[in-house]
Chain A
């Protein structure tokens, strides 16, 4: 940091010096040699251009981020084309798509992909609905609305690792509250996290608990930006409350829904942390394996680095499929 600041300072000093000498030099040269003046002033103009002037601000963070994010993805792509499995250095001279073919023959891969998609869609949709309902409840003239909002958002401040502890206990077969609660209605007990049929739904439910507050906040901000007279107009027209919401309010929430979905999909892709803490490692129960857990298991568990990298690239492609249209859309609307 300090070195960078020094660099910045020296660059500025050089620039102002050169600018002064140029100014002095220019005047002299205008009379004698026109060609050099032109060349000089191009350089000067370039140095004074906004791209150069602003580069000390954005270039260092860009290089740092670019190296760790984009160069790393490129490296990951390269690794996925090798046969690297943990011994010595990867052999980059012999690249092939074999890992990608191997994926097609891997039954675990299909299960993980299916589970990932179920998790992504189920979690995102349920979170959006719950968050919207919470926001609609809170977006009224009520007392303590700030406190309610704070409490509903509280789980979002906790880490996956922490919330996983709470939900392991909630889902516990003997002592879990979930089983005790449904026991009141004569149901259960179920082994929520142990049964292949229930485990994914249980994970989604816990994640909705953690993230619906986030969706609520996004929707609340959107609801509050809707001008008040629209509510009034609908009311004067004699529309019922439900109809008013459906026709007037919900359509205006589309941008909020889109941006919340993008972020939720991302959190769902990160659900690895939650599964790791719930199942004490990257080997979740059958029925809960997702691409993220499989990727870490292949790489760090079985040292199949190249294969793990190819799964990582699948994950990246998945998130790209969600965000690329989103970013393009934002760009078109001038929101970027």
Chain B
């Protein structure tokens, strides 16, 4: 909205200005394009490196593509994919459910704390919002203890693993789903709250006076209006949970665990005593980043909207 109004108002410069700007404009565009280089070269360099043979890696600059067809190989992509495929599946298995649960819980919490007024709600809300800022390090030891010593979901749910399609390492995935949901609730609540605050009170008041229950107002008025926010939250939260590393490291523990996430596997990929296999790591980096990159490219505006709030 505001963007459009700015453009329309600035789109009518006086003639004096147009002639004056044009020389500065060249500088401006040169700077902007130079900055594109700065932001894209690390990524571009990774991409060209991932398809180089070891000889091409020696012969060419890191940011140039291989000179000849013989210098190109997709072997590293193949190898990286073989390593990462199970991790990608695991990451999907916990990212999607936690994202959905976060969105549902966050929307409900924001509604209960914003559109229904009661004394003391601000204190509860403050606890929600402060939860966004808790560094994960402050909780990983208790979290690790809770899941590995006290809860032991794998053993508790052992009766399930005999069933078809279910595997023991899904217990770890379940732990990750619960953990990510719990830690996603604060930020998602804030995102929904920022929208609910702008909703017209009158409409909700009117509905309440007409005898609509709290639940009915939510289902009939608030929920339909918050569908765009759900999209933003899905995109933002999917990216956050997919990219998360510390919980994977603590709850899963080992790269070799069948529940290992994509980020966890990538962190140890191609590392040997002789050094790092950079092309393999680069290929792995792209495969791991693929879902978030896809979301980002397809929904760039929604993503930016989520970041802004």
Give the CA-CA distance A305 to B141 in the complex, in Å.
7
Report B89-131 CB contacts with A as 1/0, cut-off 8 Å. 0000000000001001110110111001111111011111111
0/1 per residue, B6-28, Cβ < 8 Å to A?
A: 11011101000000000001001
The residue in chain A whose Cβ has the minimal distance to the Cβ of B106 is A61
Whether the Cβ atoms of A165 and B109 lie closer than 8 Å is: no
* A92 interface residue (CB < 8 Å to B): no
**Are A51 and B120 in contact, CB atoms less than 8 angstroms apart?**
yes
A151 in contact with B36 given A64-B185, A169-B46 (CB within 8 Å): yes
- Residue ID in chain A nearest B108 by CB atoms: A57
Q: Which of A117-161 contact B (CB under 8 A)?
A: 134, 137-138, 140-142, 146, 148-161
**A319 contacts chain B at the CB level, 8 A cutoff:** yes
B45, CB-defined interface residue at 8 Å = yes
Interface locus among B70-78, B157-165, B237-245: B237-245
Closest to B243 in A: A159
CA distance A252 to B23 in the complex (A): 29
Residues from chain A with a CB closer than 8 A to the CB of B303 are 153, 157
Q: Please, how many angstroms separate the alpha-carbon atoms of A145 and B278 in the complex?
A: 34
CA distance in complex: A62, B245 (Å): 24
**Distance, CA A148 to CA B34, complexed state (A):** 11
Q: List residues 179-221 of chain A with CB under 8 A from any CB of chain B.
A: 180, 209, 213-214, 217-218, 221
Chain A interface helix/strand/loop/mixed: helix
Does B67 reach chain A (CB closer than 8 Å)? no
Which of B140, B149, B213 contacts A312, CB < 8 Å?
A: B140
State whether the Cβ of A240 lies closer than 8 Å to any Cβ in chain B: no
Q: Is the CB of A292 within 8 A of B289?
A: no
Asked whether, in the complex, the Cβ of A280 is within 8 Å of the Cβ of B245, the reply is no
Give Cα A314 to B256, complex, Å. 32
Known A56-B215, A157-B295, A170-B42; further 5 A-B contacts with Cβ < 8 A: A153-B307, A163-B42, A175-B57, A266-B135, A319-B135
Chain B residues with a Cβ under 8 A of chain A: 2-3, 5-7, 9-11, 13, 25, 28-29, 31-32, 35-36, 38-43, 45-46, 49, 57, 61-63, 101, 104-106, 108-109, 111-113, 116-122, 124-131, 133-146, 149, 178-179, 181-183, 185-186, 189, 213-215, 218, 239, 242-246, 249-250, 263, 266-268, 271, 276, 278, 281-282, 284-285, 288-289, 292-293, 295-296, 300, 303-304, 307-308
Query: What residues make up the interface of A, taking CB atoms closer than 8 Å to B?
Result: 1, 8, 12, 49-51, 53-62, 64-73, 75-76, 79, 89, 134, 137-138, 140-142, 146, 148-163, 165-170, 172, 175-177, 180, 209, 213-214, 217-218, 221, 224-225, 228, 262, 266, 269-270, 272-273, 276-277, 280, 291-292, 295-296, 299-300, 305, 308-309, 311-313, 315-316, 319, 322-323, 327, 331, 336
